[in-house]
C-alpha cells in the first residue's frame, strides 16, 4: 500500500530544496529598461506602471547608478522626446533626449554595466509607428520597410557614438540587423553589439508602454510585428537575425510566449533574452495593489519561470528591486 517512490524527500527542508534547485536567478541576468523624458525636471510617474517613471536627466543618472550597485546586468534606455515628427528626427539628433542620456550614463558608469538603447523610431514619430510611412495609391499609409532601414542605420550610428555598448533594434523591419551591423562596421563601431528583438509579437500587453513613452500611435503594428498564434515564424525570424549578425536575440513578450523562448533557447548559438513587458508588470502590480497576490513571491516566480523556459537574460521593470531581494537571499 505504500508508495515506492517519494519525491517529497527532496522537498523536506529548505536546505534540501536549495541543493536540488535547477534554475538560477541572479541579478546579473536582469536588465532594467528605463525611460528618460526630454525637458523633465523631476521624475514623472506612469500611472499604469506603478513604481516606474519617466526620468529627468538627473534622476536617470541616480537611478542608473543605484541599479548598477544592486547588481543588474545592464540597462536598456528609451527616450521620450518633446517634439515628434514624421521621420522621428529626435532619434538621430545628437542632442536628442536618448542620445544625450546615453552620453550621460556612459560618462557616469563607463564600462561598469552594459548600456543598451532601443533602436526604434516609434517614440520619436508623430504617427507612432516604428518606421517611416509611405502613402499608397488608395491613400492608405504603410510602414516603408527599406526607407526605415536607412533611418535605423543613422540612428544606430548616433547611439553608438553616444556610448551605447549594445543596440536593441525593436522595429521588426526586414533586414534591420544586417543594415545596422553594416552601418556600425562602416562607421568604425565594430565593437558595438546588437541584441535583436527577433521574435516580437503584436501584443496587447504593450499597452502601458504606450503611456510610458507618450506614444502617438493610432491603430496597431500588425503589419510588422508577429501574429500571436505563430511559433514557426519566430524561428525563421531568429535564424535570419543570426545570419545577419545578431550578437544576442530576444523573444518578446515573455509570459505568454514561454514556448517560443524554449524553442529559441534550443536552437540559438547566442544568448537569448526575454522581455517581461509593461503589461506583464502592470498585471501583477494591479493584483498586488488589490491584495490579491504577494508581491515579492509573485515577481520572483515570474522571473524564475522565464529563466526556466530558457532565457539567459530578462529585461524587466523589477530588475533593480529583484536584484536587491536576490542578494538578500544569498546572505
Ligand atoms: C518599440 C518597443 C515597444 C516596447 C519596447 N520597444 C513597444 C511596441 O512595440 O509597441 C514595449 C516594451 C513594453 O511593453 O514593456 N520601440
Q: What is the ipTM of this complex?
A: 0.96
210 annotated ligand binder: yes
Does any domain span residue 14?
no
- In the residue annotation, 200 being an active-site residue is answered as yes
pLDDT tens per residue, range 41-52: 999 999 999 999
From ligand 1's centre to the CA of 18, what distance in Å? 36
Q: What is the CATH number of the domain that holds 131?
A: 3.20.20.70
Which helix (H) or strand (E) is 275 found in, with range?
strand 272-276
SS (H, E, C) 60-113: HHHHHHHHHHHCCCEEEEEEECCCCECCCHHHCCCCCHHHHHHHHHHHHHCCCC
User: Which pLDDT does position 327 carry in this prediction?
Assistant: 84
278 annotated ligand binder: yes
224 annotated ligand binder: no
Does any domain span residue 224?
yes
- Tell me which residues of the chain have a pLDDT lower than 70: 329-331
Q: Which of 46, 77, 98, 122 to mutate to test the pocket of ligand 1 (most atoms within 8 A of CB)?
A: 122
Cβ neighbours around 8 below 10 Å, total? 8
Does any domain span residue 19?
no
User: Which pLDDT does position 330 carry in this prediction?
Assistant: 61
Among 329, 274, 263, which residue's Cα sits nearest to residue 303? Answer: 274
The catalytically annotated residue of 82, 200, 262, 330 is 200
237 annotated ligand binder: yes
Q: Which of 201, 206, 225 to mutate to test the pocket of ligand 1 (most atoms within 8 A of CB)?
A: 206
Does any domain span residue 18?
no
User: Which pLDDT does position 305 carry in this prediction?
Assistant: 98
Q: Using a 6 Å CB cutoff, which residues line ligand 1? A: 118, 120, 122, 130, 170, 206, 209, 221, 277-278
CA 149 to chain centre: 20
C-beta of residue 119 within 8 angstroms of C-beta of residue 88: no
Phi-psi region of 113 (alpha: psi -120 to 50; beta: other; left: phi over 0): beta
Does any domain span residue 151?
yes
Does any domain span residue 297?
yes
The tally of domains found in the chain comes to: 1
From ligand 1's centre to the CA of 308, what distance in Å? 23
Residue range(s) defining the domain that contains residue 262 = 25-330
pLDDT tens per residue, range 175-204: 999 999 999 999 999 999 999 999 999 999
User: Which pLDDT does position 158 carry in this prediction?
Assistant: 98
- In the residue annotation, 330 being an active-site residue is answered as no
Amino acid at each position: 500500500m505504500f508508495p515506492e517512490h517519494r519525491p517529497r524527500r527532496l522537498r523536506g527542508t529548505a536546505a534540501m530544496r536549495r541543493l536540488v534547485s535547477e534554475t538560477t536567478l541572479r541579478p546579473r541576468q536582469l536588465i532594467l529598461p528605463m525611460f528618460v523624458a526630454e525637458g523633465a525636471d523631476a521624475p514623472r510617474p506612469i500611472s499604469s506602471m506603478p513604481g516606474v517613471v519617466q526620468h529627468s536627466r538627473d534622476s536617470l543618472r541616480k537611478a542608473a547608478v543605484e541599479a548598477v550597485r544592486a547588481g543588474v546586468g545592464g540597462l536598456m534606455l528609451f527616450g521620450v522626446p518633446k517634439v515628434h515628427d514624421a521621420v522621428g528626427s529626435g532619434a538621430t539628433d545628437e542632442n536628442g533626449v536618448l542620445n544625450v542620456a546615453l552620453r550621460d550614463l556612459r560618462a557616469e558608469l563607463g564600462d561598469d554595466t552594459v548600456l543598451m538603447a532601443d533602436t526604434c523610431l516609434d517614440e520619436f514619430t508623430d504617427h507612432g509607428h516604428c518606421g517611416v510611412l509611405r502613402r499608397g495609391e488608395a491613400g492608405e499609409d504603410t510602414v516603408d520597410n527599406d526607407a526605415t532601414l536607412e533611418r535605423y542605420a543613422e540612428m544606430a550610428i548616433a547611439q553608438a557614438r553616444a556610448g551605447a555598448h549594445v543596440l536593441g533594434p525593436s522595429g521588426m523591419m526586414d533586414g534591420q540587423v544586417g543594415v545596422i551591423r553594416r552601418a556600425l562596421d562602416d562607421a568604425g563601431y565594430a565593437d558595438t553589439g546588437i541584441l535583436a528583438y527577433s521574435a516580437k509579437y503584436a501584443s496587447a500587453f504593450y499597452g502601458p508602454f504606450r503611456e510610458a513613452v507618450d506614444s502617438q500611435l493610432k491603430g496597431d503594428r500588425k503589419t510588422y510585428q508577429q501574429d500571436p498564434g505563430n511559433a514557426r515564424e519566430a524561428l525563421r525570424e531568429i535564424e535570419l537575425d543570426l545570419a545577419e549578425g545578431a550578437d544576442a536575440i530576444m523573444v518578446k513578450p515573455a509570459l505568454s510566449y514561454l514556448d517560443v523562448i524554449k524553442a529559441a533557447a534550443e536552437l540559438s548559438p547566442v544568448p537569448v533574452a526575454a522581455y517581461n513587458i509593461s503589461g506583464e508588470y502592470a498585471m501583477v502590480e494591479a493584483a498586488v495593489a488589490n491584495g490579491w497576490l504577494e508581491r515579492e513571491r509573485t515577481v520572483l516566480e515570474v522571473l524564475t519561470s522565464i529563466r526556466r523556459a530558457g532565457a539567459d537574460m530578462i529585461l524587466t521593470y523589477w530588475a533593480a528591486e529583484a536584484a536587491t531581494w536576490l542578494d538578500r537571499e544569498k546572505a
